[in-house]
Amino acid sequence: MTERIRISLDAMGGDHGPSVVVPAALRALQAHEDIELILVGREEALKQELARTGVEAGERLHIRNATEIVAMDEPPALALKKKKDSSMRVAINLVREGEAGACVSAGNTGALMATARFVLKMLPGIDRPAITTTLPSLKGHVHMLDLGANIDSSFEQLYQFAVMGSVLATTVDGNPAPKVGLLNVGQEAIKGNDQVKAAGRLLEDSNLNYIGFVEGDDIYTGDVDVVVCDGFVGNVALKTSEGLAHMISEYLREEFMRNPVTKLLGLLALPVLRSLRRRLDTRQYNGASLLGLQGIVIKSHGGADEVAFANAIRIARLEILKNLPAQIDRQIESMLSTRQAS
């Protein structure tokens, strides 16, 4: 029998804790026959939730007790220092100890970053983890990073994001030469801030398929595979997109609810509108990777439902199968030696 892919889940994290994580785990176990999941959290709470769903722990679903919970608004440093038996910390410990190939958490982002960095350590040549996610585009999808882990990123960090994003696209999508763009306020080289300009010069000399500066409206065109930016900018772009998508879907609903005729049309067009909604459903993109660590950590949205959280588990499985950290390590090493040689 081949060994199963093991993933630890911070079962107490996120806005909903076990009431979402447990059903998501069951959903993922059904979808992927080669995985095994470890629910980490208060044993009693987890057993109760399992009982509610009529399932017991077994060969592919384990419970690992952890007595503490990191609050969503807890300062990261405090969580790291004081909560050594939190579900988040224990779930990450399992990755370090090799009991799990990856960890998924919907908990406090700052605490997850700090804990993952402390427990798993960074890959050589990487300063701090970057958060990346996949977004839909007109021609498929696009990877964007950083999304909030690093505020005021230096040009070296932007360069590291570019390398990691490119490896991600190659490894996970099988894209041999992902097009990497640097997010800026104008395509002319004279524009932009100093960090972006300096990162652009580094990228021009790299062996990445760097296509130059891109602007906000290029994110969704499908003409770029990896969009690199400072965490502040990336976080704003991502959340602005969520807000706008919500507003447009509200507008659409309002237009179809305007009068009896438009309501009837809306009913008739329901399959079309559902199909549109599916394409824009953020749940299918839930699961942001913390890149640059010596291990795989996936951050789920705090408010994720079970479909969304199950998708984060799917991403964890994929990154284990592709051995993503080792791929990043190899590429970073070769690029650093190229830069030193040149």
Residue 270 contacts residue 263 (beta carbons within 8 Å): no
| Count of C-beta atoms within a 10 Å radius of residue 138 | 9
Q: Name which position in 65, 67, 154, 241 contacts its own copies (CB under 8 A).
A: 241
Q: Does 302 bind its own copies (CB under 8 A)?
A: no
One of 75, 125, 212, 302 touching its own copies (CB under 8 A): 75
Give me the least distance between CB of 154 and its own copies, in Å please.
Answer: 13
> Cα separation of 160 and 129, whole Å?
10
109 or 331: CB nearest its own copies = 109
CA distance 153 to 193: 11
Is there binding between residue 341 and its own copies (CB under 8 A)? Answer: no
Q: Check residue 136 for interaction with its own copies (CB under 8 A).
A: yes
Go through the chain and tell me how many residues it has.
342
Beta bridge partner(s), residue 39: 9, 63
CA–CA distance, 65 with 42 (Å, rounded to integer): 5
Nearest to its own copies of 220, 322 (CB atom): 220
One character per residue 2-41, x = contact with its own copies (rule: CB under 8 A): ----------------------------------------
Pick the binder of its own copies from 105, 235, 282, 331 (CB under 8 A): 235
Which segments within the chain are labelled E, that is strand? 5-10, 35-41, 61-65, 102-105, 130-137, 140-145, 179-183, 209-214, 226-228, 288-291, 296-299
Give the nearer residue to its own copies in terms of CB position, either 50 or 233.
233
Cβ neighbors of 44 (< 8 A, separation 6 or more) are: none
Does position 238 interact with its own copies (CB under 8 A)? The reply is yes
127 sits near its own copies (criterion: CB under 8 A): no
Minimum CB separation from its own copies for residue 146, in Å?
11
Among positions 18, 101, 129, 148, the unique one binding its own copies when judged by CB under 8 A: 148
**How far, in Å, CA of 239 to CA of 252, rounded?**
20
Q: Is 189 in the site for its own copies (CB under 8 A)?
A: no
Stretch that binds its own copies, among 79-87, 126-134, 189-197, 329-337 (CB under 8 A): 189-197
Binding range to its own copies, per CB under 8 A, among 25-33, 86-94, 116-124, 147-155: 147-155
Question: 257-292 b/e with 16+ CB inside 10 Å = b?
Answer: eeeeeeeeebeeeeeebeeeeeeeebbbbbbbbbbb
Q: Residue 133 CB, nearest distance to its own copies (Å)?
A: 14
State residue 63 phi and psi, 5-degree precision.
-120, 135
Rounded (10°) angle between helices 306-322 and 18-31: 50
Name residues whose C-beta falls within 8 Å of residue 254's C-beta, 6 or more positions apart in sequence. none
**DSSP 3-state of 234:** helix
Q: Is 107 in the site for its own copies (CB under 8 A)?
A: no
Instruction: Name residues contacting its own copies, limited to 155-184 (CB under 8 A).
Output: 183
Of the candidate residues 19, 220, 302, 305, the single one contacting its own copies (CB under 8 A): 220
256 is a site residue for its own copies (CB under 8 A)? yes
Indicate which single residue of 251, 334, 337, 339 sits in contact with its own copies (rule: CB under 8 A): 251
Q: CA-to-CA distance for 54 and 51, rounded, in angstroms?
A: 5
What is the closest distance, in whole angstroms, from the C-beta atom of residue 318 to its own copies in the complex? 25
By CB under 8 A, is residue 268 in contact with its own copies? yes
Where do contacts with its own copies occur on this chain (CB under 8 A)?
73, 75, 110, 136-138, 148, 151-152, 183, 185-186, 188, 190-194, 215-221, 229, 231-233, 235-248, 250-252, 255-256, 258, 262, 265-266, 268-269, 271-273, 275-276, 279-280
